[in-house]
Structure formats: structure tokens, C-alpha cells
Structure 1
């Protein structure tokens, strides 16, 4: 089969590629998702080592992580909009190539400045992959198997998220931090090869890309994430207020710029659809809950309960492992049953799990902690796949790119809000901040469950 950048055959959404090519196409997509998800957090483990090796401070080394996350948040929606115009396959393949080359440059960087620049490029490539990944699922799988596809996607994200620290620790025990990035190179090459062979070409829009709207959207989301973190760390209320006003100014300019557009980059047209809007709200609240738990629990386990860093890692892992196990099951069920019902029940379980963690006894045993983490993981797993399916199938086919971009944006926005709230809780009280964060997580999970059940009236 010829390895051309653009295949001549265009597959309509809902039909899916031939079964013989589906495995190869899915493997290409999932390799891209796996690399992007791993690199969201994998560098955290090596920050002290990289700071020492690059002769910089630990506070400055945080930019190695922040640059990647900020550029992803800024570029997800513009790249999703671009995918609707030039084709989702072109955006994904470009993203895989950029991510692979940037990973090579990350490993070759000899200074903090060059590493941050390479991480910006890597984040841009990851944003391209993640922005239209969910949209491409509508063309790889037939419509009656979208839940299964979403379940596989959630499985890969869950495994990547759970194994990130372990993989980083293993690499660092055998080699230098450079290999954290170089391992992406052969994986990226394989993903590009499989994508060229089997990812289908998708319909292209007739409109031209609005670069001004794209820049305004990027500036809005980058400033929003930055301002949330500034507020959480109490960087002076005058400064935070000024940044918030600037963020709102970019939002107003963006809304004015895309007023009247049939396919706006910030998908306000899709947010007018009740199921889409409720699914997006559910996603933000649930990912905020996950972040509130994952960021606060290490402080609770180590500083309050006296566990070591390694023990803490093992105690948290069951959450992600159960998510990875539950997501494919929930995905298959969502092809037959209401996503609103599945998500609502799952998020109610997550809420109960968060309450049980907040009510841990003063000296809990390991089983006391593990069953609570597994309950949270089961609840989150039964929400994630059906919610992705609900977001994608509630949007018109021609707006698959915009809907896909919202999937990634909802996740990043929820995670950023959750992490910022943990920082704020710990800033107010180092002794009780982690516990307060868990109660906040229970509140957000409860709100998400209510929003999910509200979708039942729009079936």
C-alpha cells in the first residue's frame, strides 16, 4: 500500500474503515494518545534531576512541565477547528511528526531554554493529536460501536496516566533523563507509519481558517490556566485581578470575532445543544474531582498518615487501574444504554468514594484505603467513556472537530481547576488543606452526577 500523506478515499462518518485496517488505525491513534498523556506528567518525576543537570533552580525547572501544559491548553480548540477545514487526518499526522521530532530535540537539549522551546513544540504536536483524536474515532469505527471506541481511548489514557511515574522511575534507574523523551522517537515513528497506512481521509470544509480567532482562542485559554494558577498561589490580588480582566477581554474579543460563524473555534454553537453542554459541564466537574484527589492525596498520605513516597504511589495506583478496567466495559454498555444514566451512576459512586476518603479513620489500614480508591476508580471509569460518546454523538458530523477539541479542553480545564483549588486549600491550611480538597472533590462529583442525570430528559 502506498504511504501517501493524503489518501484518496474519504470515509463518511459512522461507517468506519474496513475491519482489516481498523486495528492498525486504532493502534496509530492510541500510540499518539499514549505518548501525549504520558508526557503530560512524566517529566514531573525527573524535575529535580533535570534542574541539577541543566544548572537551574527547581522553581525555574517547573517551566519544563508548565510550557507543555500551557501550549496544549492554548492550541487544542484552534487545531480542532483546523481539522474540520483541512481534514482530521492531516492534523493528526502533522502532530505525530512534530511530537516525534520535538521529543528528539528535548533529549538533545543542553540548556533549560532549549528544553523549554522543545517542550513547547512537543506540546503543540500533542495538542494536534489530542484535538481531533475523538473526531477520528467517528471515521474509524461504525456509529454503533462508538462507545467501544471511546472505551478503548479511555483505557489507554487511564493506563498511561497510572503508569507515567512508574515508567519515568524505571527509565531514570537505567539511564539519564534524556531517555524520557528519546523513547518517544521509535514509538512516534511506528505511529506515523501505521497512520499513513490506515488512518482514513476525512471530509474537508469549504471555509478558510480564521487565524485571528485562533490566536484569540489560544490567548484566552493560556491566560485562563495561568490566572487560575496565579490565584491559587496567592500572587497578589491586584495582579490576579488584572490577569483575570485581561483573560475576559480576550474572551469578549473572541466571541465578537466569531459572531455569526457557522463553525466557531470556541464551540458556542455546540454549547447551545443541551446534551453537549451538560456533558461538557459533567466533564469539567469530574476531572476537577480527579485532580483534587490526585494532587491532595500525596499530602494526606505522606504528611498526615506517614507513608513514604513509594508507598503513596502504590496506594494511589488502584484508582487508575480500576478506571482502565471499567472504561471499556462502560464504553460497550453506552452503545446500548443511556450515557446520562451510566455517567450519573458512575459519578454518584465517585462522590461516595470521595466522601469515604475524606472520612478515613485516623490510623487506616491499607485495605481501608484501597477499597476507597477502587470505588473512586470504578465510578470515574463508568463515567468517562459514556461521556466521550455523548459529547461526540450529540454534535453534528460536520462539527466533529469542534466536539473533539472540547473533549480535550474539558479535561485540561477540569484538571487545571482541580489542581489550582488544591493549591488554594493548602495555602489556607497546610494541616487541613488536603482534607478540604477531598470534600470539594465530593461536591464537584455530586454536581457532575446531577448534570449527567439531567441528560436523560433529552434522549
Structure 2
């Protein structure tokens, strides 16, 4: 057969499509990840209303958010490891059932204590979903078009963050705060209906689940998130420093304990791979920059630039909206071009946009600020899908669960680090804290850009 005929019969990327069952499986995954993202955005927005409804103080009500984040991050890597042992599908279904049940429990909570306990269960359920979500997408999509699936996932995440605050406001205008959690239940049931019959079954690793490593991992990351959360709220060093010290000590013990493990829960084996390590660093830097921006921008826009609360909300919306637009575009491009180039371009745009925001004069026009937001959103959206593909493709298939867990862990820890650094910025710069935070965000994005571009030199 001639070379021309061979080329003609070889399937092109554009010719590859998913079966009906795979499309339904993806629908289930997108419903569930939308639930996890929307729940975070909605709870943050509605926190004052929830605190008022439960007759509790704003300081105490913060635990409604903290409990969810702490439970989610502490259990991400253990669930990722469990997915490799028991199957990603089983862990996902367990997480979705728990999340749906916990959402119903949240809607019936009549006190801060019961709501906080229900939010812990919600966080554990969301963790199980997020820990294996990317691994399941990699099973559904052929490697040649994996970027499309990751782009669709990033699109759903971007839309969730963009519409979450608005959706919370709409729901609260018609009913009390428990409705915010009750709406998760029918969506969760619908996702379960799709997932049970359509999600693919994964091969198991043959390793046993290490309960000791799981406990050490949970303690280490719970301490880290608690410490970062306390720092973000400018808490006493007597609470922050011991928590971070516990993280360092337990992590050291965990690394030594898993030194001879073929599939360590804390994926040191994957981080020894230069491509994977650079991709993980890129993700952490990008999400730290995003965390710095999202926490500091309301203060910056209202206090430094003199905007109203309503105007601030409209000005910040383009960031998430453009992320949602760019994510599927970047997902298709990363099936053709190196992730190092795409991620580098995206984070260079993010760094430039945040730097421009930080030096905007007090009389800056609304149009100029909106352009900076669009540049930031486009840059972040351009980075996300290619970087996720680089993380998944640089890990062996037997370690896809660990790689999937790292993606979610890097996102949550990066965002928590960014929020903590905003508090640090206020502590050392006072009223100029938001400006310093935006500059720090630009620095993180620039470091991420360098890390991304460095992958071009790595095999």
C-alpha cells in the first residue's frame, strides 16, 4: 500500500469521537464536578445569610467553609490511592452518594454544629469525586483527544465559579439558605443515574490500601490547610505555627514510611519525574496566583479604586467567564501542541494582567480594568487543560490515580496558599496590602510560566 493510501486510511484527530455510553459517562462526571464547584462558590457567597439564619457570629460561621476545605484536602490523596486499589469508578460513586446525602443533611441542619458536621461529610464526598475525576476522564477519552475532555472539565469548572455567586443570590431571593444545599440533591441523583450504568471500570493496581499512610496523609494535609486558613484570617502565630510544624513533621515521617513503597500515597515517585514535577509546580503557582487575585481583588477594587460592591461583582465576572470560554479551545490545542508552550503563554498573560492591575491608577477607567480581567481569565484558561494533560500523560497508567489526586491537591493547596498570602500582605503593607497581593500573584504566575516553559527542555 502506498504512503498516500496509508495516510488516507489513518484516522485523524478530528475523526475520533466518543460512543453514546462514554458521552453519558462524561455527563455524569460534569454534573458531579459542577456540584463540587458550585457548592464552594455558593457557600462562600451565602455565608452572611447562613450565619444570620443560624444566629451565629461571622467568625464562627467561617468554619462552614473551613470544615469543607479541610476535609476535602485531607482525604484527596488517600481517595486517589483507594481508587487505584479498589477502582476509580467505585470511589467516584461512593463520593457522589456521600456528597448527595450530605447535601440533604446540610439543608435540614438547624445549628452551626450540625451544619459543620454535614459540611465535613460534603467535603469528604467532594474529595472522593475530585480525586478520581481526571483519571476517569483519561479512561473515557483516547489519549489523542484527551485535551478535549480536560477542556470540557475546565469549562464546567469555569462556568461554576462564574455563575455560583449569581445563582446563590437568585436562590436566596426566593427562599431561605437551606435551599442552596437542597438543590444539590436532584442533580446528584441525576448524576448517579448516568454514572451507575455508564462509567467505565478501571483495572486495579494489585496493591493493598495502606491505612497507616492514609492516616498520616490526612493529618499532614489537615494541619497544612488549618495553618494556612488561620494565617489567612490573621490568627495568632500560636495557632498557625504549630499547625504548619505538624505538617512538616508528619510529612517527613510519611516520606520515610513510604520510602520503599511501589505506589506511595504521597506521590514522591511521580514527583521524581521532571515533567510531572514541573507540571505540578506550574499548577501550584497558577492556583496560588488565582487565590491571591480572588481574595484581594474585592478589597483592591472597592478600597483602592473606589468601586461599589455591585460594580466590583460585575468587574470580576469576566475573569471566570473568559476562563470558561478559553478552556475548551486550549483543550483542543493541547492535542496538537506542547503543553509547555501553551501553559507558558497562558501564565505569561496571567502575570501581565495581574501586574497591570496592581499598577492601575486610582482614576483608571472601567474599560481598562475589564481588559486586565479578560487578559487574566484568558491566560488562566489557556494554562489549565494543557497542564492537566501534561500531568496525566507524564505518569504511568498504573499511577493515574495518584496523578489525578495531585491535580486536585495542587489546586486546593495553591488557592489556600494564595488566600493566606493576602493576609500576610495586609499585615506588612496595611492599606496597600491588595496591591502587594496582586504583585505577589504576578510573581507566582511568572514562576509558573518559567516552570511551564522548562518542560520544553525535559524529556
Map 1:3-22 onto structure 2 (within 5 A): 19-22=19-22
For normalisation by structure 2, the TM-score amounts to 0.95
Look up the match of 1:288: 288
1:148-197 alpha-carbon deviations (Å, 9 max, x no partner): 11100110111101111111011000111001000000000000000012
SS of residue in 1 equivalent to 2:200: coil
Work out whether residues 283 and 411 of structure 1, in 8 Å CA contact, stay in contact via their aligned partners in 2: yes
Map 1:45-444 onto structure 2 (within 5 A): 45-444=45-444
Work out whether residues 292 and 418 of structure 1, in 8 Å CA contact, stay in contact via their aligned partners in 2: yes
1:4-38 alpha-carbon deviations (Å, 9 max, x no partner): xxxxxxxxxxxx99612121111100111000011
Distance in 2 (CA, whole Å) between partners of 1:90 and 1:17 is 26
Look up the match of 1:44: 44
Work out whether residues 74 and 217 of structure 2, in 8 Å CA contact, stay in contact via their aligned partners in 1: yes
Look up the match of 2:9: none
1:257-316 alpha-carbon deviations (Å, 9 max, x no partner): 212111111100000010000000000001011111111110011122222222111100
**Which is worse superposed, 396-405 or 239-248?**
239-248
The offset of 1:457, in angstroms, is 1.2
The offset of 1:242, in angstroms, is 2.6
Q: Residues 17 and 96 of structure 1: is their aligned pair in 2 closer, same or farther, counting only changes over 3 Å?
A: farther
1:185-217 alpha-carbon deviations (Å, 9 max, x no partner): 000000000001210111012111011100110
Gapped runs of 5+ residues in structure 1? 1-15
Distance in 2 (CA, whole Å) between partners of 1:17 and 1:106 is 40
Look up the match of 1:5: none
Work out whether residues 327 and 381 of structure 1, in 8 Å CA contact, stay in contact via their aligned partners in 2: yes
SS of residue in 2 equivalent to 1:243: helix
Distance in 2 (CA, whole Å) between partners of 1:130 and 1:353 is 29
SS of residue in 2 equivalent to 1:176: coil
Distance in 2 (CA, whole Å) between partners of 1:116 and 1:234 is 22
The offset of 1:232, in angstroms, is 4.2
The offset of 1:234, in angstroms, is 4.3
Distance in 1 (CA, whole Å) between partners of 2:239 and 2:328 is 45
SS of residue in 2 equivalent to 1:360: coil
1:220-260 alpha-carbon deviations (Å, 9 max, x no partner): 01101111233344434344333322221111121122121
1:15-68 alpha-carbon deviations (Å, 9 max, x no partner): x99612121111100111000011123112222221122121111111111100
The offset of 1:104, in angstroms, is 0.4
Distance in 2 (CA, whole Å) between partners of 1:354 and 1:167 is 27
1:417-452 alpha-carbon deviations (Å, 9 max, x no partner): 000001111223331000000110111111100000
For normalisation by structure 1, the TM-score amounts to 0.95
Matched residues, number: 444
Look up the match of 1:11: none
Distance in 1 (CA, whole Å) between partners of 2:310 and 2:362 is 21
1:79-114 alpha-carbon deviations (Å, 9 max, x no partner): 000000000000001111100010001000111111
1:361-407 alpha-carbon deviations (Å, 9 max, x no partner): 22112111111100011111110000000000100001000000000
Gapped runs of 5+ residues in structure 2? 1-15
Distance in 2 (CA, whole Å) between partners of 1:239 and 1:161 is 31
Distance in 2 (CA, whole Å) between partners of 1:456 and 1:291 is 27
Work out whether residues 69 and 225 of structure 2, in 8 Å CA contact, stay in contact via their aligned partners in 1: no
SS of residue in 2 equivalent to 1:153: helix
